[in-house]
Amino acid sequence: MKNETIRVLVVEDHNVVRQGLVALLNVAEGLEVVGEAADGVEAITQFRKHRPDITLIDLRLPRLSGVDAISTIRKEEPQARFIVLTTYDGDEDIFRALKAGAKAYLLKGMTSDELMAAIRAVHAGKSHIPQAIAERLAERMGAEELTPREFEVLEQIVQGKSNKEIGTELDISEATVKTHINSLLAKLGVTDRTQAATAAIRRGIVPLESLKNLKS
Q: Measured at the alpha carbon of residue 135, what is the angle toward residues 14 and 40, in degrees to the nearest 5?
A: 25
Q: Looking at residue 3, what is its pLDDT?
A: 62
Percent of the chain with pLDDT over 90: 58
Q: Which domains does the chain have, with CATH numbers?
A: 6-141 (3.40.50.2300), 148-213 (1.10.10.10)
> Under 8 Å CB-to-CB from 100, ≥6 apart: which residues?
67, 68, 70, 71, 74, 82
Average pLDDT over residues 4-16: 95
Nearest alpha carbon to residue 163 among 149, 153, 148 = 153
Is the predicted pLDDT of residue 137 greater than 90, yes or no? no
Q: Of 7-11, 139-143, 150-154, which one has max mean pLDDT?
A: 7-11
Q: Looking at residue 140, what is its pLDDT?
A: 65
For residue 205, what pLDDT band results from cuts at 50, 70 and 90? Answer: confident
Is the predicted pLDDT of residue 142 greater than 70, yes or no? no
Instruction: Summarize pLDDT for 111-131 with one digit per residue, the tens.
Output: 999 999 999 999 999 988 877
The gap between the terminal CA atoms of the chain, to the nearest Å, is 58
Q: Looking at residue 215, what is its pLDDT?
A: 43
Percent of the chain with pLDDT over 70: 91
Partnered with residue 57 across adjacent β-strands are 11, 84
> Under 8 Å CB-to-CB from 161, ≥6 apart: which residues?
169
Nearest alpha carbon to residue 208 among 196, 216, 197 = 197
For residue 213, give Cα distances in angstroms to 79, 157, 197, 207, 210.
Answer: 38, 11, 14, 12, 6
For residue 179, what pLDDT band results from cuts at 50, 70 and 90? Answer: very high
Distance in angstroms (rounded) separating the CA atoms of residues 121 and 59: 20
Average pLDDT over residues 20-44: 95
Q: Looking at residue 160, what is its pLDDT?
A: 87
Strands (E), 19-178: 31-37, 54-57, 82-86, 104-107
Distance in angstroms (rounded) separating the CA atoms of residues 207 and 203: 9
